[in-house]
A and B are shown apart, each in its own frame.
Chain A
């Protein structure tokens, strides 16, 4: 049975979508069947990393939640359709899918106004696991701890919390860790992103592990190169030797090892 891997951060701007996309890409590159679900309905973004725009985007998660289609109809095959960039082209023939969110303003505001049925989201995720015969289902969550995010955490086999080494992220992460324990999430991993090079990474890892009593799967450096590329491609595929990419592969290894 496939594993649900939720990627969460307490606040925005931690590099959550980028990390999710790169982790899923690495797992797919290793020959696993993987799907990313963008549940950040209020501010979707991960589709950009796979070269999707309003024109190319077909059905969306919103359509499914509104009962307009099956979840399987939303699955966009990265291995067949998103090979138009140097990094992404390495995913040719790989079993990686994306369930994008609508980026139409009207549809976003509709969800914000009316909310959506978390049960239906849950059903959709379970269906995906079965129908696509997935090894890993990655959920890119909305920051914070709203109901939809709590659901993603509750149903996950692995929860990855991404945080920056700063005070506000730490405080929020502490609460998220407590919630994850209360919901009996079997495996909890921390990923520190955007760490400044002048900090002692080993010390950061040790302190975080002491504080949260959970393993730190990687300390990723703040990278100007990553920022420079914008969201045009999957960084770790394009620049595999970069320190950030090496750290991402380390985290992917921990996901692959936990099956």
Chain B
């Protein structure tokens, strides 16, 4: 049983490379947990005192929106760890984690984790490395979100529509950039709605239909301009303009 867990721990990015003795020690303190598809592993805002290593299956890390929708922040799969942030800073869980498929994780409680950490400085380095990787991903994600928001502001929706139409399967060897694009495309799918509404509005803009009765126009003009008053006015206006020009050359 423990040996089985040691094998699993060796596959986790966080613990691989630790001495056999440490892994055995850890193996005694972790518990296996099975989840079915759509089961919630972590609930945002909850107290968190465990760390999870994904052994099998995939999870989505989501931020729930007020309107009931969800925004996928990241995906986690075999080898990756989940929940180490709350374990370290003792703040409530920062996001919700839901199984995308039937899955199996190893759970490690804070006390156990900290005592292993104390005895294995290399684990700290490994932890920092994993955290840095995640931070780097967040930066890419943010940069892309800013870039796309800017484009939307300028009325360019092409990027999001492209991304949305080329969804790639999970777990590929995509770069951070690609991964951020995939995740954000779900978020920016609202852009499709915005664009559709805008297009519809543009089509709805009515065109004015203008028609002038030219005969009437001519007749009314002649009625006004055929009077003595008008002839006099035209002359007077001409003189006045000349006078003002001469007074102020």
Contact = CB atoms under 8 A, between A and B. Distances in A.
Nearest to A154: B237
Interface size class of A (residues with CB under 8 A): 20 to 34
Nearest to B212: A174
A186 to B, nearest CB: 8
A171 B236 contact: no
A175 interface: yes
Interface size class of B (residues with CB under 8 A): 20 to 34
B224 interface: yes
B210 A175 contact: no
A211 B221 CA distance: 16
A122 B244 CA distance: 13
B205 A200 contact: yes
A183 B225 CA distance: 10
Contacts of A179: 221, 224-225
A170 B210 contact: yes
A132 interface: no
Contact of B237 (A126, A145, A167, A184): A184
A203 B244 contact: no
A178 B248 contact: no
A122 B233 CA distance: 11
B233 A199 contact: no
B230 A150 contact: yes
Contact of B234 (A122, A154, A178, A199): A154
A8 to B, nearest CB: 14
Interface string B225-249: 1000110011011101100100110
A1 B208 contact: no
Contacts of B241: 184
A147 B231 CA distance: 12
B213 interface: yes
A204 B208 contact: yes
Interface string A200-237: 10011001100100000000000000000000000000
A15 interface: no
B247 A1 contact: yes
A198 interface: yes
B1 interface: no
Contacts of B247: 1
Contacts of A204: 208
Contacts of B229: 147, 150
B205 A199 contact: yes
Contact of A1 (B221, B233, B244): B244
Contacts of B212: 170-171, 174, 211
A143 interface: no
B66 interface: no
Contacts of A147: 229, 233
B204 A198 contact: yes
A258 interface: no
Given A179-B224, A182-B225, A211 B210 contact: yes
B163 to A, nearest CB: 32
Nearest to A151: B233
A82 B126 CA distance: 74
Contacts of B211: 167
Given A198-B205, A207-B208, A183 B234 contact: yes
A154 B212 CA distance: 24
Contact of A199 (B208, B220, B237, B238): B208
Interface string B31-62: 00000000000000000000000000000000
Q: 5 shortest A-B CB distances, which residue pairs?
A: A154-B237, A1-B248, A200-B205, A175-B220, A178-B221
